[in-house]
Structure 1
Amino acid sequence: MTLQLITYVLDTASIGAAVSVLPRIIFGFDPVPPTIYDKLGLTSDVYGAFCSGLLLLSCLKWALRKWWRKAHGGEKESMYGLQHGRLHLKLPTPMWMNMGYWGHEVEASTMAEACRDLLKMVLREAGFSSEVERAEIARGTRRPKVLIDLGFGCGDQTIYLMSDTSVRSCDREWWDEREYCPKFDHYIGITKDATQHRYARKRVEELIGHGQEQRSEPNISLFCADAATPGPWTTSWNKDIKSCIEDVLEVDPDRWVLALDTIYHFSPSRWPLIKYAHAFQASFMAFDLCLSPQATRTQRIILRILTALMGAPWANFVTPVEYRRKLVEAGYPTDEIKIVDVSEHVFAPLARYLEEQDARLKMLGLGIGSFSVAKYMFNWWGSSGVVRGVIVVARR
């Protein structure tokens, strides 16, 4: 950072030198008023020599840079480079966004596949599967299922949970057999992000238009609201959400709340929401973050600063043991609680992917932007173990 600052100052000074000296060299007049020399305590000749030195330094730096690229690049610098690759980027593109599960069995090759796999792992740990679904139907014991999805993103997650087939051509890049995905009879999604809410609504409209290929039209309701607002479920959200939930409860469904890589952002903490989920007679499943029991005092201080920057209340960072205790306090039976640590398949692999993706995009004159900071954070989490990525399931 210091070297970049010095280079920036020198480049700026060189531009000033060019403005000051070149008119004298080329046209024979001095654009700097004599009063400036008096204030600086310099003569015109000394000032001219100083500016000429800056110009010479800038030219030398330019020549050295050209030589270095030629000597170490092995190729002649291209006039056009690779920026025309932008013209081949395809839209629409997958818009999944979570930390992903970069599995040991079949390594995900794209961000969308890893995000899908994290959802699959949560569903699998919750006990869902197509085989279980078929067995319940055969026995006549299947109950309607309602899912309240807290923080559903841009709609890819919704499409995966509620559609029998892919909708967009880009969906086919990450679509699979959905072997752990049951049939949810009602889907209620809540997100605080208005932009993502609008985007997801368009995706659902496409899904409904795609309905002739579905076994039935999906029952999906998407709302833009703060799911973390304290208060009873029937009063904490607006009347539309309240009415939608009341309609769903008439069929006495099997109720689930999903928070995929979202609930550690809930303010003032996640715990009021989890208590309301139990009062709602809903089971809870999530990918969440915990604090390592071995975290040092220094690590805790650094992490507390980072969590403030990422908008995650410090009250949400507890150890897995404390997390389990909080779930029991909320009313979930201790033998129905499962907390599975999947950190090794999340943080370090995600940091590597971000590094590789940044390099690929920079070849086209792009980059991953603000995610560069997240790359270093995930790498620290992966190498130090200070934060644990866990799948949480608490059955009612």
Structure 2
Amino acid sequence: MAEFHDLAELALNREGQSWGNLGYWKSETEYSDACRALAILLGEQAGLDRQSVLFDAGFGCGDQLLLWLDHFRVARVRGVNLSYSQTAYARTKLVEAGFEDSATAIVQGDINDPGIWRAATGTDRPSHVLALDCAYHFPSRLEFIAQARRHLAPAGRIALTDFMLSDHHRTGSVTHWLLRWMLKRSHIAEANIVHPSRYLDQLRQAGFDEVRIVDISKHVIPGFAHFIRTFRVAGKAGWAGWAGWLKYAVTSRFLQWAYRRSILRYCLVSATKAR
């Protein structure tokens, strides 16, 4: 059975890269560079350093794991990813880069499964839990936040990039019905997409404080949509196969529409485990 999250993103990257996020396009023009920029932004917001014990929730094909290890020099990485193919790819990538211990510390599974957290963290209590461009795909972001709170070390931090409803969007509108249809097609639980005020409340109720939400939509959504259009014009779409290309094309058009109509916003989120 085909996976929704697979290796199709390899087609969008330059050779040797396997990023799979929407990218941060403030100054970048190439997909791999924009994806790396978004990861660096998240790592900086989280406050990663050499003492960090990092749990990566949804590590994709492993490029971000190498970034945490090489760029931020974190002490250790752990992680869970739903995709079998991506997890296998990430393990190979870590081994080839000389991080064999890290390759054995990442597992495949459902992020909402408490047993998976125990299997991934072992005796470690992570100082940081990160979710780079993936939390909206989790079966329940609320349960993910609860698990993060439960497993984080005292004063540990959670950091995400995530979609939210615009403050101007009305949930009873016609556009909201179109949004609900597209979310279902994109394997996104409707309950995961809420207004910023509700997102803030959910983090606080889960036991986090020092919550910061920064709207970075203008440097993410238009840039990704432009890249996909350029990618198609350049005649490279065949690399991803028809199914893969269709997913990117539909996603970029939908996100551009939702951004221009003030329906969705893409935000950088961080918070600290309350005492």
TM more than 0.5: yes
> Does the CA-based 8 Å contact 2:112-2:147 persist in structure 1?
no
- Give the gaps of 5 or more residues in structure 2: 1-12
Letter in 1 for 2:112: A
Q: Secondary structure at the match of 2:208?
A: coil
Aligned to 1:27: none
Residue 112 of structure 2, aligned match among 210, 216, 228: 228
Per-residue deviation, residues 64-112 of structure 1 (Å, max 9, x unmatched): xxxxxxxxxxxxxxxxxxxxxxxxxx98442101011111xxx112101
Judge conservation of contact 1:122–1:286 (CA < 8 Å) in 2. yes
Q: Are 1:188 and 2:78 matched, yes or no?
A: yes
Please provide the CA RMSD for this pair. 2.4
Residue 345 (structure 1) aligns with: 219
What does 1:1-396 align with in structure 2 at a 5 Å threshold?
A: 92-103=15-26, 107-128=27-48, 133=49, 144-163=51-70, 178=71, 181=72, 183-208=73-98, 219-220=102-103, 221-229=105-113, 233=114, 236-237=115-116, 242-249=118-125, 255-267=127-139, 269-281=140-152, 282-296=156-170, 297-333=173-209, 336-361=210-235, 369-370=245-246, 371-396=248-273
- Tell me how far 1:126 sits from its aligned partner: 2.4
3-state SS in 2 of match to 1:339? strand
| Distance 1:291-1:278 versus aligned 2 partners, 3 A rule | same
**Equivalent residue for 1:139?**
none
Residue-by-residue CA offset, 1:146-179 (whole Å, 9 max, x unaligned): 111011111111111113xxxxxxxxxxxxxx4x
Contact residue 191 and residue 226 of structure 1 kept, 8 A: yes
Normalised by the length of structure 2, the TM-score is: 0.84
Aligned-pair CA distance for 1:293: 2.1
- Given that 1:185 and 1:218 are in contact with CA atoms closer than 8 Å, whether structure 2 keeps it comes out as no
> Which amino acid in structure 1 is aligned with residue 18 of structure 2?
M
Offset at residue 247 of structure 1 (A): 2.5
Q: Give the drift of 1:373.
A: 1.1
Using the aligned pairs only, state the percent identity: 27
**TM-aligned CA distance change 1:395 to 1:372, over 3 Å:** same
Q: TM-score, normalised by structure 1?
A: 0.59
Please say if residues 350 and 378 of structure 1, whose CA atoms lie closer than 8 Å, have aligned partners that are also in contact: no
Which structure has the larger Rg over C-alpha atoms? 1
What code does the residue aligned with 2:118 have?
K
Q: Write the letter of the residue equivalent to 2:30.
A: T
Counterpart residue type for residue 347 of structure 1: I
Q: Letter of the 1:285 partner, please give it.
A: A
Q: Using the alignment, how far apart are the partners of 1:362 and 1:162 within structure 2?
A: 32
Instruction: Letter of the 1:308 partner, please give it.
Output: K
Whether the 8 Å CA contact 2:231–2:237 is kept in 1: the answer is no
Provide the C-alpha distance between the structure 2 equivalents of 1:155 and 1:337, rounded to a whole number of angstroms.
Answer: 28
Decide whether the 8 Å contact of 2:80 with 2:107 is kept in 1: yes
The number of aligned residues is 252
Give the secondary structure class of the aligned counterpart of 1:261: coil
- Structure whose residues are more often helix by fraction: 1
Mapped contact 1:185–1:219 kept (Cα < 8 A): no
Name the structure, 1 or 2, with higher relative contact order (CA <8 Å, separation 6+).
2
Are the equivalent residues in 2 in contact too, given 1:154–1:197 (CA < 8 A)? yes
Q: Structure 1's 91 and 272: CA in aligned 2 closer, same or farther, altered over 3 A?
A: closer
Shift of 1:383: 1.4
3-state SS, counterpart of residue 177 of structure 2 = helix
Q: Cα deviation per residue 1:220-277 (whole Å; 9 max; x = unaligned)?
A: 5110111123xxx4xx32xxx625523224xxxx61111001111111x200110121
Alpha-carbon offset, residue 120 of structure 1: 1.3
Runs of at least 5 residues in structure 1 that lack an aligned partner in the other structure: 1-89, 134-141, 164-177, 212-216
Deviation, 1:363, is: 9.3
